[in-house]
Amino acid sequence: MAAETSAKQTLLDRIHDRTAVVGVIGLGYVGLPLAMEFAKAGFHVIGYDVSERVVSRLMSGESHIQDVPSAEVARFVRSGAFEATTDESRLHEADGISIAVPTPLSKTRDPDMSYVISATEAASRQAHSGMVIVLESTTYPGTTREILVPLLEKRGFTVGEDVFVAFSPERVDPGNPVYVTKNTPKVVGGITAACTELATALYQSCIDKIVSVSSAEAAELTKLLENTFRSVNIGLVNEMAIVCDKLGIDVWEVIDAAGTKPFGFMKFTPGPGIGGHCIPLDPHYLAWKMRTLNYKTRFIDPHYLAWKMRTLNYKTRFIDLASEINSQMPAYVVEKVAHALNDERKAVNGSTILVLGVAYKRDIDDLRESPALDVIRLLEEQGATVTFHDPHVPRIREDGHVRERVELTDERLATADAVVIVTDHRAVDYQRVMDNATLIVDTRNATNALVRTKARVVSLATVRPMPEVIEA
C-alpha cells in the first residue's frame, strides 16, 4: 500500500505540473490527434510507431491524418514538445502511455489481438514503477485484464501498486468539424480504483470531460455498445430502404418526417453499406466474446474463468442481423444499377460506370472497409468498365493493384452509362452531375434538393404512384 501511495502520488504530481512524459503507441487516426492534445496541454510527448514511413513523415513536420494539420505537427516537432520514433526503448522515458494500435478482425472474423499484444509487450518491456498505461484500441470486454495485466505482472510489476492500467476508448469521429478529441467526453475505467484515478488525471489534463466508470470492462463495453448501437440503427434504416422500395415509398421522405418527432426517435440514414475501422468490425468483437469461452485461458485466474464460463456462449442476434443487412447493401446498390440500366435497354456488362465517392463516409479520405470497394468489384464482376472520382482519394490500392481516380469532366459525366453516387462528399458539384449525366444512382440522397435537369435519378428506394383503391 505504501508503494501504491508513493508511486501514485509521484505520478499525480508529475501529471499536475506537466513534468510527466507521455508516450503514445501507434500514431494513426487515434494516436496522432491524442498525441497532439497531450502536447498542447504542455507535456513532452514521445510517439512510438513501428512504421518508419509514419515516423519520418511526422518528424519532417508532415501529418498523414486529415484531421491533424501538418502545421501543428511541425510546430510541436520544432519546439521539441513532440517527437516520433521507431525506437521502443524511448518509451522508458514515459510516465504515461496510451496504446492506440489497430484491432482488426482475422479472416474468420475473430479478433486479431496481435497488435495489442505486441504493443503491450513493448510497453511492459519499457515499464517502470510509477507508470500508467492506458489501452485505447477498441476491443472486447476483458482485454485489459486478460492481456495487459498478465504481461506486466510477468515482468514483476503489481498492477494498482507500482504500475497502473486502464482502458479508455477513443471516440474520434474523423471529418467531424465540431467534435474532436479534446471536446469529446472520454470514458475511463481502471483495473483498480488507483488505476482509474491516475488514468483520469492524465486525460483530464487535455480532454474537457472525463467520465470514470467502475472497471476496465465497463469502459470496454461502453465503446462496443456505442458502435453496436450505430450498426444496428444503420441496419434498421437500410432495411427500411428495402421495405420502402418494395412499397414504392420515398424512404428519405419517411425518415425526414419521422425525424420531426422531438423525442424518442433518432435519425439515421440508409446508404450503400458501412465502412471504416469501427462500425463494421467492433460489434464482432462483442459477438465473438459472447460466443466463445475464452481467448487465452493461460492469462486468467481460475475464479475469473469460472465466472466467464457461466456467462458466455450467447448469440448476439442484433449484431449478427445488422451485419447481415449492412453487408448486403453493396449488392443491393448493384442490383439498383442493373435495373436502372435495364430500363434503358442496357446491360451492366459492357456499360461504363463512374463511381462518385469511394471513401467510407463524407469528407474524409479513409477507404478502410469502404462499401464502394465492394460496389466496384461487383460491377466489374458483371462486366462493367468502372472508373471512380473522389476529391479526397487520389488512388485505390487493393491486392497489389492500383486504380487512379479520373477527373470529373462534363464529357466523362455525359458519356458514362451510369454515375453511382456512393459517398456524398461536399466538395462535389452535384448540380453539374445532374446537368451532364444521363443516369444517376444516388445511394445518399445527394441530389434530392437539386434542380432536375438532364439526368434520370434512381434512389435506394424507387418511388411509385400509390395505387388507386378499387371499391368491391
Q: Which is nearer to ligand NAD, 27 or 216 (by Cβ)? A: 27
CA-nearest of 315, 314, 317 to 325 is 317
Binders in 93-152 for ligand NAD, by CB under 6 A: 100-103, 115, 118-119, 122, 136-138
Tell whether residue 30 is a contact of ligand NAD (CB under 6 A): yes
Contact flags string 58-97 toward ligand NAD, x per CB under 6 A: ----------------------------------------
Q: Could you tell me the smallest distance in angstroms from the CB atom of residue 375 to ligand NAD?
A: 22
Binders in 33-52 for ligand NAD, by CB under 6 A: 48-51
Contact flags string 248-287 toward ligand NAD, x per CB under 6 A: -----------------------------xx---------
Tell whether residue 359 is a contact of ligand NAD (CB under 6 A): no
278 is a catalytic site residue: yes
Class of residue 249 by CB neighbours under 10 A (exposed 0-12, middle 13-18, buried 19+): middle
Using CB under 6 A, which of 7, 46, 54, 338 touches ligand NAD? 54
Do β-strands 418-421 and 439-442 pair in parallel, antiparallel, or remain unpaired?
parallel
From the list 195, 206, 244, 278, the catalytic residue is 278
Q: Which is nearer to ligand NAD, 91 or 354 (by Cβ)? A: 91
What are the angstrom distances between the C-alpha of 230 and each of 254, 269, 422? 19, 11, 19
The piece of 151-159, 170-178, 355-363, 375-383 that touches ligand NAD (CB under 6 A) is 170-178
The piece of 20-28, 75-83, 145-153, 458-466 that touches ligand NAD (CB under 6 A) is 20-28
Using CB under 6 A, which of 7, 12, 29, 322 touches ligand NAD? 29
Q: Which is nearer to ligand NAD, 26 or 130 (by Cβ)? A: 26
Residues binding ligand NAD: number (CB under 6 A): 28
Instruction: Point out the residue whose Cβ comes nearest to ligand NAD.
Output: 28
Q: Which is nearer to ligand NAD, 102 or 142 (by Cβ)? A: 102
Under 8 Å between Cβ of 441 and 340: yes
Q: Could you tell me the smallest distance in angstroms from the CB atom of residue 334 to ligand NAD?
A: 27
Q: Could you tell me the smallest distance in angstroms from the CB atom of residue 368 to ligand NAD?
A: 8
Q: Which is nearer to ligand NAD, 30 or 437 (by Cβ)? A: 30
Q: Could you tell me the smallest distance in angstroms from the CB atom of residue 366 to ligand NAD?
A: 7
Q: Which is nearer to ligand NAD, 104 or 383 (by Cβ)? A: 104
Q: Which is nearer to ligand NAD, 27 or 353 (by Cβ)? A: 27
Using CB under 6 A, which of 174, 270, 272, 330 touches ligand NAD? 174
Contact flags string 446-465 toward ligand NAD, x per CB under 6 A: --------------------
CA-nearest of 255, 278, 249, 260 to 172 is 278
Q: Which is nearer to ligand NAD, 28 or 61 (by Cβ)? A: 28
Question: Length of the chain, please?
Answer: 472
Query: CB-based contacts of 327: which residues, under 8 Å, 6+ apart?
Result: 273, 280
Site residues, ligand NAD (CB under 6 A): 25-31, 48-51, 54, 100-103, 115, 118-119, 122, 136-138, 170, 172, 174, 277-278
Residues labelled as active-site residues: 278
